[in-house]
Structure 1
Amino acid sequence: MWPIFIINLDRAQDRMSATQALMDRCGLPFIRVAAHDWQTLTDADARRFVANPPPRFSKRALALSEVACFLSHIDVWAQIGGGKSPAAFVFEDDVEFDGSLYKLLSEISGREPDWDILKLYSNKVKTLGDAVTLPNGYSYGTPRIIPMSTAAYAITRPAARELARASVPFGRPVDLFMKHWWEHGSCVKLVQPSPVSRRADHLSSSEIEAGRGQSCHQSFLTRFVRNSLYQLQFRHRTHVNAAHRPPGRRWLETTGHARMVGDELDAI
């Protein structure tokens, strides 16, 4: 089986204990990666990594918690990209699942990836294009809209290497970055039904939400207008780039940087 990386804050020992117990019950070894802590991240630190100016029609400026979360995933991508395994799984420390996940992850690990990123979580049921059957009633394929969340996913080594290299500076939260597939060129697919879920206390204990609350100074009207403009722009770019969406993996192993398969995307 490919290695499993768990992202966890040093001060979130209760979440790590719960995750450790869950992984042990399911017979899943893992590698813990210390998350960047937004409470110790300064504005000066953030400016080193955040795009200036931000992307057009952004919902809002990035909160420090979102910057820290993105940096945590970049750290994992760098480890995977420099590792020996052809791919790996990445989990955040607030996921839930049962013992059947072992068989599913083993099955996925035994197949040649036809994707760059394979998401294992969606909070809504998604219709999949070109669905491929997996054991125990699961399947994976291409959703029309990639779901939010980076709670659990698999990523190939060359894709991890490329995303770690090319994602800085960033101007969106990491889950929105993945959702905008035309900006990073990766083939993102999804497993359905979701084999993992979020723990019931996710929202009440979310570091991202806490950080957003600390940094959100916009009026309701401003947030509404910016979100509406973002949604219109997102739908437009999804439609315009639909013909260029990669049907299979784009990043392959090379001696240098990851290599994109096929023509460059026409990112409007």
Structure 2
Amino acid sequence: MSHPADHRQPRFYIHPVNARLSTYLINLDRAGDRRKRMSWLLARHGLVFERVQAVDGNDIQLPSPFFDERGYLERHGRRPNRAEIGCYLSHVECARRLLESSFEHALILEDDLDFDEELLDTLSSALDQAGSWDLLRLSSVNSGHKFPVLQLSGKHSLALALTREKGSGAYVINRRAAEWIVTALLPMRLPYDLAFDLEHEAGLKGCFITPEPVSQSAERMSYIQTRLSDYKLKHRRPASVMLHRARMESGRFIARLARLVLWRIFSAFR
């Protein structure tokens, strides 16, 4: 992309991928430093974006029609975290904006990211294979194994993950996935990154790009993670949590393993 000597000045050009998707940056009003940094980074990579004002957890009043406190307790076993609820509703808002737009796809970004230099070219290559996925994850905070299934540009591939992957820093959705997010994922019963990792339950196809072209920096810790232990119930967690978790983990593994096997079979006969 840019020469090392130009690192202080973004290259103000428009990457062709902008004609193929909308880009939404989730950012709190009070997170001005993050907004400034991400604006610089996006400009440097040639991405045109729309800032989505994040829902501030400090402004959320409970009970709320958008948050199922009993369902959250039974599935996640923690006290309500207003910052987590705000994050969840902010991602839902991005999906809603895609449905109101003329675009087929949207790139959704949080504001604590770093980009691979090949991100935009890799993203263009992934969009050429858009029939293979409804939800494409570009980042993760887990280190679980990703199984490559289709080569993209450069060093990157489309891949499947068989186990739970956390984090929702950067991903792409199509309109079908957006419809699922704004309808089936409300009211909130799980943190957003766990909820949208269950796309297979709606018959949607999820994929990763590996190696991941976007990372979330440890130095810019999420507001949600701050004092996270305050919301844990520990030994008082309902027994239903383990039952729900076993169902989700086994269902995810079976659905994605079946998809991986089928993909490998079809690839062998091409």
Structure 2 partner of 1:23? 42
Do the aligned partners of residues 11 and 141 (structure 1) sit closer, same or farther apart at CA in structure 2, a change above 3 Å counting? same
Structure 2 partner of 1:80? 98
**Rounded Cα–Cα distance in structure 1 between residues aligned with 2:119 and 2:40:** 15
Instruction: Please give the secondary structure, in 2, of the residue aligned with 1:148.
Output: coil
Q: Is the 8 A contact 2:162 2:252 kept in 1?
A: no
Do the aligned partners of residues 75 and 211 (structure 1) sit closer, same or farther apart at CA in structure 2, a change above 3 Å counting? farther
Q: 1:181 aligns with which of 191, 195, 199?
A: 199
Instruction: Give 1:233 deviation, angstroms.
Output: 4.3
Q: Structure 1 residue 216 and structure 2 residue 227: aligned?
A: no
Instruction: Please give the secondary structure, in 2, of the residue aligned with 1:141.
Output: strand
Residue deviations 1:4-59 (CA, integer Å, cap 9, x gap): 11111111110000001111111121111110001111224xx2111252153423
**Rounded Cα–Cα distance in structure 2 between residues aligned with 1:124 and 1:52:** 27
Unaligned runs of 5+ in 2: 1-16, 261-270
Tell me the amino acid that sits aligned with residue 216 of structure 1: Y
Residue deviations 1:222-244 (CA, integer Å, cap 9, x gap): 3xx56x97456424443256554
RMSD: 2.6
Tell me the amino acid that sits aligned with residue 16 of structure 1: R
- Return the TM-score normalized by structure 2: 0.78
Structure 1 partner of 2:245? 234
Q: 1:8 aligns with which of 27, 33, 53?
A: 27
**Rounded Cα–Cα distance in structure 2 between residues aligned with 1:17 and 1:134:** 31
Instruction: Give 1:114 deviation, angstroms.
Output: 1.3
Do the aligned partners of residues 17 and 102 (structure 1) sit closer, same or farther apart at CA in structure 2, a change above 3 Å counting? same
Instruction: Give 1:180 deviation, angstroms.
Output: 2.9
Q: Structure 1 residue 37 and structure 2 residue 53: aligned?
A: no
Q: Is the 8 A contact 2:23 2:49 kept in 1?
A: yes
- Equivalenced residues, count: 239
- Return the TM-score normalized by structure 1: 0.79
Q: Is the 8 A contact 1:62 1:172 kept in 2?
A: no
Structure 1 partner of 2:70? 53
Q: Is the 8 A contact 2:135 2:177 kept in 1?
A: yes
**Rounded Cα–Cα distance in structure 2 between residues aligned with 1:137 and 1:157:** 28
How do 1:131-210 and structure 2 match up within 5 A?
131-203=149-221, 206-210=222-226
Q: Is the 8 A contact 2:23 2:48 kept in 1?
A: yes
Instruction: Give 1:91 deviation, angstroms.
Output: 0.6
Q: Structure 1 residue 94 and structure 2 residue 112: aligned?
A: yes
Instruction: Please give the secondary structure, in 1, of the residue aligned with 2:70.
Output: coil
Structure 1 partner of 2:126? 108
Instruction: Give 1:142 deviation, angstroms.
Output: 1.6
Instruction: Give 1:186 deviation, angstroms.
Output: 2.5
Residue deviations 1:60-95 (CA, integer Å, cap 9, x gap): 133111111110011000011222111111110111
Do the aligned partners of residues 237 and 174 (structure 1) sit closer, same or farther apart at CA in structure 2, a change above 3 Å counting? closer
Q: Is the 8 A contact 2:78 2:232 kept in 1?
A: no
Higher helix share: 2
Instruction: Please give the secondary structure, in 2, of the residue aligned with 1:15.
Output: helix
Instruction: Give 1:131 deviation, angstroms.
Output: 1.1
Do the aligned partners of residues 11 and 57 (structure 1) sit closer, same or farther apart at CA in structure 2, a change above 3 Å counting? closer
Identity across matched positions, percent: 26
Tell me the amino acid that sits aligned with residue 130 of structure 2: E
Tell me the amino acid that sits aligned with residue 58 of structure 2: Q
Do the aligned partners of residues 200 and 169 (structure 1) sit closer, same or farther apart at CA in structure 2, a change above 3 Å counting? closer
Tell me the amino acid that sits aligned with residue 32 of structure 1: R
Instruction: Give 1:127 deviation, angstroms.
Output: 3.0
Q: Is the 8 A contact 1:80 1:161 kept in 2?
A: no
Do the aligned partners of residues 27 and 150 (structure 1) sit closer, same or farther apart at CA in structure 2, a change above 3 Å counting? same
Q: Is the 8 A contact 2:106 2:173 kept in 1?
A: yes
Q: Is the 8 A contact 1:4 1:89 kept in 2?
A: yes
Q: Is the 8 A contact 1:126 1:192 kept in 2?
A: no
Q: Is the 8 A contact 1:65 1:208 kept in 2?
A: yes
Tell me the amino acid that sits aligned with residue 44 of structure 2: R
